[in-house]
Amino acid sequence: MTYIFENAAPQAGMRLGVLADIFDETTRQCLAARGVQDGWRCLEVGGGTGTIAAWLASRVGPTGSVLVTDIDPQLMSTVSAKNLEIRHHDIESDPLPADAFDLVHARLVLSHLARPDLALFRMVSALKPGGWLVVEDFEVPPPGDGDDALSATALAMRGLTSAASDHRLGRTLARRLVHAGLEDVEIEGRARLVRGATLGARLMQANFEQLRPRLLATGLSAEQFAADHAELDDPRFEMRAPTMWTAWGRRAA
Ligand SMILES: C[S@@+](CC[C@H](N)C(=O)[O-])C[C@H]1O[C@@H](n2cnc3c(N)ncnc32)[C@H](O)[C@@H]1O
Protein backbone atom coordinates (compact mmCIF):
# COMPACT_ATOMS: atom_id res chain seq x y z
CA MET A 1 0.00 0.00 0.00
CA THR A 2 1.12 3.58 -0.52
CA TYR A 3 0.61 6.14 2.24
CA ILE A 4 -1.53 8.76 0.46
CA PHE A 5 -1.49 11.53 3.11
CA GLU A 6 2.21 12.32 2.51
CA ASN A 7 3.89 14.44 5.20
CA ALA A 8 5.44 16.56 2.42
CA ALA A 9 2.02 18.01 1.46
CA PRO A 10 1.49 21.63 2.60
CA GLN A 11 -1.65 20.66 4.57
CA ALA A 12 0.00 17.72 6.39
CA GLY A 13 1.35 19.62 9.43
CA MET A 14 -2.03 21.16 10.19
CA ARG A 15 -3.86 17.87 9.52
CA LEU A 16 -1.64 15.85 11.86
CA GLY A 17 -1.74 18.69 14.41
CA VAL A 18 -5.53 18.43 14.57
CA LEU A 19 -5.24 14.64 14.82
CA ALA A 20 -2.97 15.09 17.84
CA ASP A 21 -5.35 17.64 19.40
CA ILE A 22 -8.21 15.14 19.14
CA PHE A 23 -6.47 11.90 20.14
CA ASP A 24 -3.38 12.67 22.26
CA GLU A 25 -5.16 12.89 25.58
CA THR A 26 -6.63 9.37 25.32
CA THR A 27 -3.29 8.03 24.09
CA ARG A 28 -1.43 9.64 27.02
CA GLN A 29 -3.92 8.13 29.47
CA CYS A 30 -3.38 4.65 28.03
CA LEU A 31 0.43 4.97 28.03
CA ALA A 32 0.42 6.33 31.60
CA ALA A 33 -1.74 3.38 32.67
CA ARG A 34 0.91 1.01 31.30
CA GLY A 35 3.25 2.55 33.88
CA VAL A 36 5.61 4.61 31.72
CA GLN A 37 8.00 6.29 34.16
CA ASP A 38 11.53 7.58 34.82
CA GLY A 39 14.21 5.55 33.12
CA TRP A 40 12.01 3.76 30.55
CA ARG A 41 13.25 3.27 26.99
CA CYS A 42 10.42 3.95 24.52
CA LEU A 43 9.87 3.60 20.78
CA GLU A 44 7.23 5.70 18.99
CA VAL A 45 6.61 4.34 15.45
CA GLY A 46 5.32 6.64 12.69
CA GLY A 47 5.42 9.60 15.05
CA GLY A 48 3.83 12.22 12.72
CA THR A 49 4.30 15.60 14.41
CA GLY A 50 6.05 13.97 17.39
CA THR A 51 3.70 15.19 20.14
CA ILE A 52 3.44 11.77 21.81
CA ALA A 53 7.21 11.23 21.52
CA ALA A 54 7.82 14.61 23.18
CA TRP A 55 5.39 13.74 25.99
CA LEU A 56 7.12 10.36 26.48
CA ALA A 57 10.52 12.08 26.59
CA SER A 58 9.35 14.36 29.41
CA ARG A 59 7.77 11.43 31.24
CA VAL A 60 10.85 9.10 31.17
CA GLY A 61 13.22 11.91 32.25
CA PRO A 62 16.99 12.17 31.75
CA THR A 63 17.59 8.54 32.75
CA GLY A 64 15.19 7.30 30.06
CA SER A 65 15.13 7.71 26.28
CA VAL A 66 12.73 7.87 23.35
CA LEU A 67 13.35 6.85 19.76
CA VAL A 68 10.73 8.23 17.37
CA THR A 69 10.65 6.94 13.80
CA ASP A 70 8.83 7.87 10.60
CA ILE A 71 9.25 7.24 6.87
CA ASP A 72 9.14 11.05 6.60
CA PRO A 73 10.05 12.77 9.90
CA GLN A 74 10.01 16.35 8.53
CA LEU A 75 6.99 17.36 10.64
CA MET A 76 8.98 16.72 13.84
CA SER A 77 11.45 19.55 13.21
CA THR A 78 10.16 21.56 16.19
CA VAL A 79 10.37 18.61 18.60
CA SER A 80 13.60 18.24 20.53
CA ALA A 81 14.84 16.92 23.86
CA LYS A 82 18.20 15.57 25.02
CA ASN A 83 16.73 12.11 25.53
CA LEU A 84 14.81 12.04 22.20
CA GLU A 85 16.18 10.66 18.92
CA ILE A 86 14.30 11.20 15.65
CA ARG A 87 15.06 8.56 13.00
CA HIS A 88 14.09 8.24 9.35
CA HIS A 89 12.89 4.63 9.35
CA ASP A 90 10.46 2.26 7.63
CA ILE A 91 8.86 -0.07 10.20
CA GLU A 92 8.34 -2.77 7.56
CA SER A 93 11.97 -3.06 6.48
CA ASP A 94 14.59 -1.06 8.43
CA PRO A 95 16.51 -2.60 11.33
CA LEU A 96 15.41 -2.18 14.94
CA PRO A 97 17.31 -3.20 18.08
CA ALA A 98 16.06 -6.46 19.65
CA ASP A 99 14.85 -6.75 23.28
CA ALA A 100 15.47 -3.02 23.77
CA PHE A 101 12.29 -1.12 24.74
CA ASP A 102 10.00 -1.02 27.79
CA LEU A 103 7.24 0.47 25.62
CA VAL A 104 6.49 0.58 21.88
CA HIS A 105 3.58 2.69 20.61
CA ALA A 106 2.12 3.26 17.13
CA ARG A 107 -1.08 5.19 16.30
CA LEU A 108 -2.70 5.21 12.86
CA VAL A 109 0.31 3.55 11.24
CA LEU A 110 -0.53 -0.17 10.85
CA SER A 111 -3.64 0.42 8.72
CA HIS A 112 -1.47 2.11 6.08
CA LEU A 113 0.96 -0.82 5.75
CA ALA A 114 0.87 -3.65 3.24
CA ARG A 115 2.19 -6.05 5.91
CA PRO A 116 0.83 -4.91 9.30
CA ASP A 117 1.49 -8.26 11.01
CA LEU A 118 5.13 -8.17 9.93
CA ALA A 119 5.41 -4.69 11.42
CA LEU A 120 3.75 -5.93 14.62
CA PHE A 121 6.16 -8.86 14.92
CA ARG A 122 9.07 -6.45 14.44
CA MET A 123 7.72 -4.16 17.19
CA VAL A 124 7.25 -7.15 19.52
CA SER A 125 10.85 -8.30 18.89
CA ALA A 126 12.04 -4.81 19.81
CA LEU A 127 10.35 -5.07 23.25
CA LYS A 128 12.24 -6.15 26.32
CA PRO A 129 10.74 -9.20 28.02
CA GLY A 130 7.82 -7.77 30.05
CA GLY A 131 7.64 -4.66 27.83
CA TRP A 132 4.33 -3.18 26.60
CA LEU A 133 3.09 -2.71 23.05
CA VAL A 134 0.27 -0.18 22.52
CA VAL A 135 -1.24 0.14 19.03
CA GLU A 136 -4.16 2.27 17.93
CA ASP A 137 -6.08 2.42 14.69
CA PHE A 138 -9.38 3.33 13.12
CA GLU A 139 -12.33 1.18 12.18
CA VAL A 140 -14.09 3.23 9.51
CA PRO A 141 -17.88 2.66 9.49
CA PRO A 142 -19.46 1.62 6.18
CA PRO A 143 -21.34 4.42 4.37
CA GLY A 144 -24.69 4.84 6.14
CA ASP A 145 -27.87 6.73 5.50
CA GLY A 146 -29.89 9.35 7.37
CA ASP A 147 -27.67 11.14 9.89
CA ASP A 148 -24.63 9.18 8.73
CA ALA A 149 -25.03 9.67 4.97
CA LEU A 150 -21.73 10.63 3.37
CA SER A 151 -21.44 13.72 1.20
CA ALA A 152 -20.26 13.16 -2.37
CA THR A 153 -16.80 14.41 -1.36
CA ALA A 154 -16.64 12.15 1.71
CA LEU A 155 -17.77 9.20 -0.40
CA ALA A 156 -15.10 9.88 -3.03
CA MET A 157 -12.51 10.22 -0.28
CA ARG A 158 -13.65 6.90 1.19
CA GLY A 159 -13.00 5.31 -2.21
CA LEU A 160 -9.48 6.72 -2.36
CA THR A 161 -8.52 5.85 1.21
CA SER A 162 -10.01 2.35 1.15
CA ALA A 163 -7.69 1.48 -1.73
CA ALA A 164 -4.70 2.73 0.27
CA SER A 165 -5.45 1.60 3.83
CA ASP A 166 -7.33 -1.11 5.73
CA HIS A 167 -10.52 0.47 7.10
CA ARG A 168 -11.23 -2.51 9.37
CA LEU A 169 -7.79 -2.87 10.93
CA GLY A 170 -8.57 -1.17 14.25
CA ARG A 171 -11.25 -3.77 15.02
CA THR A 172 -8.74 -6.62 14.46
CA LEU A 173 -5.94 -5.36 16.71
CA ALA A 174 -6.55 -7.57 19.77
CA ARG A 175 -6.43 -10.83 17.83
CA ARG A 176 -3.33 -9.64 15.97
CA LEU A 177 -1.56 -8.92 19.29
CA VAL A 178 -2.48 -12.39 20.58
CA HIS A 179 -1.20 -13.89 17.31
CA ALA A 180 2.06 -11.97 17.76
CA GLY A 181 2.54 -13.79 21.08
CA LEU A 182 1.66 -11.00 23.53
CA GLU A 183 0.06 -11.61 26.93
CA ASP A 184 -2.50 -9.62 28.95
CA VAL A 185 -4.05 -8.31 25.72
CA GLU A 186 -6.88 -5.77 26.11
CA ILE A 187 -8.70 -3.49 23.68
CA GLU A 188 -10.95 -0.45 24.01
CA GLY A 189 -12.74 1.54 21.33
CA ARG A 190 -13.87 5.13 21.41
CA ALA A 191 -16.87 6.12 19.27
CA ARG A 192 -17.27 9.77 18.28
CA LEU A 193 -19.41 11.98 16.09
CA VAL A 194 -17.92 14.52 13.72
CA ARG A 195 -19.91 17.66 14.53
CA GLY A 196 -19.85 20.77 12.37
CA ALA A 197 -17.47 23.59 13.34
CA THR A 198 -15.50 21.40 15.76
CA LEU A 199 -11.97 19.96 15.62
CA GLY A 200 -13.33 16.77 14.07
CA ALA A 201 -14.89 18.78 11.23
CA ARG A 202 -11.63 20.70 10.82
CA LEU A 203 -9.79 17.36 10.48
CA MET A 204 -12.22 16.24 7.80
CA GLN A 205 -11.79 19.52 5.94
CA ALA A 206 -8.01 19.15 6.14
CA ASN A 207 -8.31 15.62 4.71
CA PHE A 208 -10.47 16.98 1.87
CA GLU A 209 -7.97 19.78 1.18
CA GLN A 210 -4.94 17.47 1.12
CA LEU A 211 -6.66 15.06 -1.30
CA ARG A 212 -8.43 17.77 -3.39
CA PRO A 213 -6.59 17.14 -6.68
CA ARG A 214 -7.19 13.39 -6.45
CA LEU A 215 -10.83 13.90 -5.45
CA LEU A 216 -11.49 16.15 -8.44
CA ALA A 217 -9.74 13.58 -10.65
CA THR A 218 -12.45 11.05 -9.67
CA GLY A 219 -15.01 13.30 -11.44
CA LEU A 220 -16.19 15.26 -8.37
CA SER A 221 -16.96 18.87 -9.36
CA ALA A 222 -15.20 21.82 -7.71
CA GLU A 223 -18.64 23.23 -6.77
CA GLN A 224 -19.65 20.01 -4.99
CA PHE A 225 -16.28 19.91 -3.22
CA ALA A 226 -16.75 23.52 -2.02
CA ALA A 227 -20.32 22.83 -0.81
CA ASP A 228 -19.32 19.68 1.08
CA HIS A 229 -16.33 21.48 2.60
CA ALA A 230 -18.54 24.40 3.72
CA GLU A 231 -21.19 22.06 5.21
CA LEU A 232 -18.60 21.07 7.81
CA ASP A 233 -18.67 24.64 9.19
CA ASP A 234 -22.38 24.29 10.01
CA PRO A 235 -22.81 23.53 13.75
CA ARG A 236 -25.89 21.40 12.94
CA PHE A 237 -23.81 18.93 10.89
CA GLU A 238 -23.29 15.47 12.45
CA MET A 239 -21.90 12.18 11.18
CA ARG A 240 -20.35 9.10 12.73
CA ALA A 241 -16.55 9.35 12.99
CA PRO A 242 -14.25 6.33 12.68
CA THR A 243 -13.93 4.38 15.93
CA MET A 244 -10.43 4.62 17.39
CA TRP A 245 -9.45 1.23 18.82
CA THR A 246 -6.59 1.13 21.33
CA ALA A 247 -5.07 -2.28 22.05
CA TRP A 248 -2.25 -3.27 24.35
CA GLY A 249 -0.39 -6.36 25.48
CA ARG A 250 2.93 -7.29 26.99
CA ARG A 251 5.75 -9.55 25.95
CA ALA A 252 6.21 -12.53 28.26
CA ALA A 253 8.73 -11.74 31.01
C1 LIG B 1 -1.86 9.05 9.98
S2 LIG B 1 -0.23 9.51 10.39
C3 LIG B 1 -0.26 9.29 12.15
C4 LIG B 1 0.81 10.08 12.85
C5 LIG B 1 0.83 9.92 14.37
N6 LIG B 1 1.15 8.55 14.74
C7 LIG B 1 -0.48 10.33 14.96
O8 LIG B 1 -1.30 9.48 15.29
O9 LIG B 1 -0.71 11.56 15.10
C10 LIG B 1 0.74 8.12 9.87
C11 LIG B 1 2.24 8.34 10.07
O12 LIG B 1 2.91 7.10 9.81
C13 LIG B 1 4.01 7.35 8.97
N14 LIG B 1 4.29 6.11 8.22
C15 LIG B 1 3.59 5.62 7.16
N16 LIG B 1 4.15 4.47 6.74
C17 LIG B 1 5.21 4.23 7.57
C18 LIG B 1 6.21 3.20 7.63
N19 LIG B 1 6.22 2.18 6.76
N20 LIG B 1 7.16 3.26 8.62
C21 LIG B 1 7.15 4.31 9.50
N22 LIG B 1 6.26 5.32 9.47
C23 LIG B 1 5.30 5.28 8.52
C24 LIG B 1 3.58 8.53 8.10
O25 LIG B 1 4.67 9.22 7.50
C26 LIG B 1 2.81 9.38 9.11
O27 LIG B 1 3.66 10.28 9.81
| Domain layout of the chain by residue ranges | 12-142+167-193
Would you say the CB of residue 20 lies under 6 angstroms from ligand 1? yes
pLDDT at 144: 79
Distance CA 245, CA 187 (A): 7
Residue nearest atom 14 of ligand 1, based on CA coordinates: 46
DSSP state, residue 127: E
- pLDDT per residue over 84-111, tens digit each? 999 999 999 999 999 999 999 999 999 9
pLDDT at 204: 93
Q: What is each CA distance from 225 to 63, 133, 196, in whole angstroms? A: 51, 40, 16
Would you say the CB of residue 76 lies under 6 angstroms from ligand 1? no
Would you say the CB of residue 207 lies under 6 angstroms from ligand 1? no
Q: What is the pTM of this model?
A: 0.95
Question: Given its phi and psi angles, is residue 184 left (phi above 0), alpha (psi -120 to 50 degrees) or beta?
Answer: left
Residue nearest atom 4 of ligand 1, based on CA coordinates: 48
pLDDT at 1: 66
Residue nearest atom 12 of ligand 1, based on CA coordinates: 46
Would you say the CB of residue 90 lies under 6 angstroms from ligand 1? yes
pLDDT digits (tens), the chain, 253 positions: 677 788 888 788 888 999 999 999 999 999 999 999 999 999 999 999 999 999 999 999 999 999 999 999 999 988 999 999 999 999 999 999 999 999 999 999 999 999 999 999 999 999 999 999 999 999 998 887 777 789 999 999 999 998 889 999 999 999 999 999 999 999 999 999 999 999 999 999 999 999 999 999 999 999 999 999 999 999 999 999 999 999 999 999 9
Q: Name the β-bridge partners of 104.
A: 43, 133
Would you say the CB of residue 105 lies under 6 angstroms from ligand 1? no
pLDDT at 32: 98
CA–centroid distance, 94 to ligand 1, in Å, is: 15
CA–centroid distance, 129 to ligand 1, in Å, is: 26
CA–centroid distance, 147 to ligand 1, in Å, is: 31
Distance CA 183, CA 117 (A): 16
Topology of 12-142+167-193 in CATH?
Rossmann fold (3.40.50)
Atom of ligand 1 nearest to the CA of 16: 9
**What string of DSSP letters covers 182-244?**
-EEEEEEEE--EEETTSHHHHHHHHHHHHHHHHHHHTT--HHHHHHHHHHTT-TT-EEEPPEE
pLDDT at 146: 75
CA–centroid distance, 234 to ligand 1, in Å, is: 30
CA–centroid distance, 22 to ligand 1, in Å, is: 16
Residues 6+ apart with CB under 8 A from 132: 34, 35, 102, 103, 104, 248, 249, 250
CA–centroid distance, 2 to ligand 1, in Å, is: 11
Amino acid identity of 20?
A
Would you say the CB of residue 6 lies under 6 angstroms from ligand 1? no
pLDDT at 142: 85
CB atoms within 10 A of CB 130: 11
CA–centroid distance, 155 to ligand 1, in Å, is: 23
DSSP 3-state assignment of 10? coil
CA–centroid distance, 108 to ligand 1, in Å, is: 7
pLDDT at 96: 96
Q: Phi and psi dihedrals of 89, rounded to 5?
A: -165, 135
